[in-house]
Amino acid sequence: MQADDQIAVEKIVKSSGSSFFWGMKILESKKKRAMFSIYAFCRIVDDIADEINNKKLKQKKLKDWKQKIQNIFEQKVPKTSLEKELKLSIEMFNLEKYDFDSIIEGMMMDALNDIQFPTKKNLDLYCDRVAVAVGYLSIKIFGLSEKDKKYAFYLGRAFQLTNIVRDFYEDLRRDRCYIASEYLSKYGVDKDIKTIVNEPKLQNIFQDILREARNYFQKSMLESKSISKKDIIASEIMKEFYEAIHKKMFNKNINFKQKIRLNSIEKIFILFKFLIRY
């Protein structure tokens, strides 16, 4: 039953504990349902890349998901609740297979090799696959047009760069480090996953990354001026959450061993601002 599928997918989103839940929750029913299916899909493939230790098993499961997406677009009967909800979303909002494949390919970059000090070019590719592609799916659900893709692009880049700093220590424990090699060269830092945690110049590198994220936030704000605010209320709430996290780190000495989060009061305050504004 569709209602059961919907409940199962919403449960995945809720259990993730993401702030994104509240941005999606305020959408009207059809859009909310579609966004939940997209986020649940992202959560599942991200967990495959992050939580499974066996690389071959990771790759197999991601390839399985690529085939599941292929099957949905070939109109084959979906089996699981998430696949059924994705099929509904794809058909309702004319979502692109390319964007789903991009997300999986981004996760595959993690699954093939633990990413450590990528070139800026490869980091940009990673960001565009795991974050910008999600934005491209989202704006179609929000009812935006092709000309609004820059808004999604800038936000996706801003979110992912903020994540890189926020999740630095957590990623390090998985033998990953998404700091671009160009930043290490700039400060004369060795490409050593074991010693970088003690590197004094690390704080300078964090601030460079956060400055880049801030530039993308600002560009997304300029793009948003030509878009109806009601159409992007969900993404703007997500943006406020991320900018609040960014603010806790920008121009600060970051205690990266303690993950930066928003508390319940901070989240409620952001939601309240939007509720009275719209």
Q: Quick one: 121 and 134 in the same domain?
A: yes
Task: Answer whether 174's CB lies under 8 Å from 50's CB.
Answer: yes
For 16-49, the pLDDT digits (tens) are 766 677 677 778 899 999 999 999 999 999 999 9
Last residue of a domain, which of 80, 112, 144? 112
One domain, residues 48 and 120: no
Q: Which CATH number characterizes residue 186's domain?
A: 1.10.600.10
Instruction: Please indicate, yes or no, whether residues 167 and 77 belong to a single structural domain of this protein.
Output: no
Q: Output the pLDDT for position 132.
A: 97
Q: Are 79 and 208 members of one domain?
A: no
- The pLDDT value recorded for residue 97 is 97
Check whether residue 182 and residue 140 sit in a common domain: yes
Residue 99 shares a structural domain with residue 198: no
Q: Are residues 237 and 257 in the same domain?
A: yes
Mind listing the pLDDT tens digit for each residue in 156-213? 999 999 999 999 999 999 999 999 999 999 999 999 999 999 999 999 999 999 999 9
CA-to-CA separations, 195 to 166, 175, 198, 203, 213, in angstroms, rounded:
19, 12, 6, 14, 25
What pLDDT, on the 0 to 100 scale, is given for residue 278? 59
My answer on whether 102 and 196 are in the same domain is no
Contacts of 31 (CB under 8 A, 6+ apart): 141, 142, 143, 234
State the residue range of the domain holding 1. 1-112
pLDDT tens digit string along 98-154? Answer: 999 999 999 999 999 889 999 999 999 999 999 999 999 999 999 998 889 999 999
Contacts of 129 (CB under 8 A, 6+ apart): 102, 103, 105, 106, 109
Q: Are residues 271 and 147 in the same domain?
A: yes
Q: Mark which of 67, 86, 112 sits at the end of a domain.
A: 112
Q: Which residues have C-beta within 8 Å of that of residue 146, sequence separation ≥ 6?
A: none
Tally the domains of the chain. Answer: 2
Same domain, 138 and 222: yes
**Are residue 56 and residue 191 in the same domain, yes or no?**
no
Last residue within a domain, chosen from 81, 112, 143: 112
Threshold 0.85, pTM exceeds: yes
Torsion of CA 44, 45, 49, 53, to 10 degrees: 50
What percentage of residues in the chain have a pLDDT greater than 90?
75
Is 108 in the same domain as 118? no
Residues 112 and 55 sit within 8 Å (Cβ to Cβ): yes
In the prediction, which pLDDT does 229 show? 86
pLDDT of residue 1: 56
- Left if phi > 0, otherwise alpha if psi is -120 to 50, otherwise beta: which for 117? left
What DSSP letter does each residue of 94-151 carry, written as one string?
T--HHHHHHHHHHHHHHHHS--BS--HHHHHHHHIIIIIHHHHHHHHHHT--GGGHHH
